[in-house]
Structure 1
Amino acid sequence: MSVKNMMQNLPAGRTLALVGVLVLVVVAGWFTFEWTVNRIYVEPGESARLRFKGPPLPFLPGSRPAAPAGQFAEANPDNPTGWPQQLGVLEHMLGPGRHFYCPLWWEIIRVPDIVVQPGEVGIASSKMGKDLPAGEFLVDGELGSTEFKGILRK
């Protein structure tokens, strides 16, 4: 007996109830998946670095070209915290709190926040960009807007 025949044999009230139960099961399943698998909690005092891996299977949506080596993945200008236009590490990091990212498409790496106390010296270095030319030791510019990687002059 096929599903179509079973549905035709049910009274209208039971069919409606069956559809309602199926919708309820799907919504409850999605809610459970979001709050158990996709939920990431970033503790105070740490940030989360995101790397967009793309789809786990080639036929799923989300396939993108890879970001060039030494550069951040290009973010969507309309939604910088949404799906990027390239595979790779995003410049935007997640702060403390609850976030929802599917681990099949995203790699989440928790990074401790570093606080430089008064009287201490902090050294900021850029790990993204091109290598410094020969004879250069310090990088000019601000963090996030430098062309080269290395220790920042400021």
Structure 2
Amino acid sequence: MNKLLLFLPLAALSLLIFLGLFVWFACRIEPQNGEIAVMIKKTGKTLPSEQIVAPGPEHKGIQLEVLGEGRYFRNPYTWDWQIREITDIPAGSFGVLVRKFGQPLPEGEIIAPSEDFKGIVREVLGTGKHRINPFAYEVKIYADLRIMPGNVGVVTNLTGKDVFAGTANNVQNSSGFIVDEGQKGVLATPLKEGTHRINPFIQSVAIVNIQSQRYEFTGEEAILFITMDGFSISLEGTV
């Protein structure tokens, strides 16, 4: 009996030490600065074959929400996880998100009309660090568009209603292929000087110099021509 009384405290202490070590080494999730943890549920409802991201924690599979830097504890029987680098968009750049999960896009569309559809997301990500699940989104990084003084940006919509599909064009005093907002084609209002973040899958921008230009036809650049009498005439001028 005395031996049993001595053994019980030792067994309890050993069990506590084992549980502590198990929780610390097997259950601990600790993303460092600049990292995220992507959570993967091992138990729950089975995902449909066409889905890659679980709609909620009640389903098996990759969870949309990620864990930021810090210390967390999860049951390793229920959860698995992967540590990934955070999405860092440098200064002077922006990011375009491409959603990998959701309903297929309507025919002829490339921009996701809502959060329920896969495809290119209309809104862009600004400079900084973003906790983006790499299994759910792809991030394409582009440089900011800078329009210098004396220039404007002519904007062309790459998506929208087709101006040749019979849709009325309501731009006042328009001519040629100037279109309304929401239609494919060149917009009437250009971008002014400054820094702009334009989703390149939605709009393209051509920078046009609007400063007055001066060109002198003098010296070797003078205009030369021969008269009917065979005389060479040099014409100088400024345009």
TM-score category, normalised to shorter length? 0.5 to 0.7
Show the counterpart of 1:13: 16
Within the candidate set 173, 177, 199, 1:137 is matched to 177
Gaps spanning 5+ residues in structure 2: where? 1-10, 37-68, 70-82, 166-174, 190-239
Q: Is 2:27 the counterpart of 1:23?
A: yes
- With a CA cutoff of 8 Å and minimum separation of 6, indicate the structure with the bigger relative contact order: 1
Residues in 2 aligned to 1:111 and 1:38: alpha-carbon distance in whole angstroms: 19
Q: Which has the higher helix share?
A: 1
Count of matched residue positions in the alignment of Structure 1 and Structure 2: 120
Contact 1:48 1:110 in 2 (8 A): yes
Residues in 1 aligned to 2:163 and 2:90: alpha-carbon distance in whole angstroms: 36
Which stretch shifts more, 66-75 or 118-127?
66-75
Residues in 1 aligned to 2:91 and 2:99: alpha-carbon distance in whole angstroms: 23
| Pairwise CA distance, 1:13 | 0.9
Show the counterpart of 1:108: 139
TM-score, structure 2 normalization: 0.44
Which stretch shifts more, 12-21 or 94-103?
12-21
Alignment of 1:77-116 (within 5 A): 84-116=115-147
Amino acid corresponding to residue 22 of structure 2 in structure 1: V
Q: Which has the higher strand share?
A: 2
Show the counterpart of 2:103: 65
Alignment of 1:46-65 (within 5 A): 46-54=93-101, 64-65=102-103
Max Rg structure: 2
For residues 70 and 137 of structure 1, do their structure 2 counterparts lie closer, same or farther at Cα, with a shift above 3 Å needed? Answer: farther
The share of aligned pairs that are identical, in percent, is 24
Residues in 1 aligned to 2:84 and 2:163: alpha-carbon distance in whole angstroms: 42
